[in-house]
């Protein structure tokens, strides 16, 4: 199944990075949901007052940071995704060269 977000919405798959501090393993029920994700699909962009389309700053494949309570969670074919607006993105994670 393919999902195409509309306007300035973005489909994100959360990236879970397991970090252990001092050898302590935190159970899944006590873990916070990650605030990093990989962009799976993007909408066409929002429109300004004159009706012109404004392109999004993120693209498919980007790694992003987003707010803790951003977006809406959906489940498609037993996989969880997040649909967020571009305004909810805090930054793009770029790989160091």
DSSP annotation of 71 reads: S
Identify the domain containing residue 73 by its residue range: 9-16+31-93
> Of residues 1 and 43, which shows the higher confidence score?
43
Q: Quick check: is 62 in a domain?
A: yes
Residue 48 resides in a domain:
yes
CATH of the domain at 62: 2.30.33.40
Query: Which tokens in the block code for residue 50?
Result: 């004159």
| Nearest residue to 6 (alpha-carbon basis) of 62, 61, 47, 51 | 47
The tokens 């899944």 sit on which residue? 28
Query: pLDDT tens, 29-86?
Result: 555 666 889 999 999 888 889 989 988 989 999 999 998 888 899 988 888 999 999 9
């Amino acid at each position: 199944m393919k999902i195409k977000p509309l306007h300035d919405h973005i489909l994100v798959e959360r990236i879970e990075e397991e970090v252990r501090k001092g050898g302590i393993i935190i159970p899944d029920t006590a873990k916070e949901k990650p605030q990093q994700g990989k962009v799976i699909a993007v909408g066409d962009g929002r429109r300004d007052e004159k009706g012109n389309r404004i392109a999004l700053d993120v693209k498919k494949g980007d790694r992003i940071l987003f707010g803790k309570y951003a977006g809406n969670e959906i489940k498609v074919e037993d996989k969880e995704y997040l649909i967020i607006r571009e305004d909810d993105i805090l930054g793009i994670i770029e790989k160091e060269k």
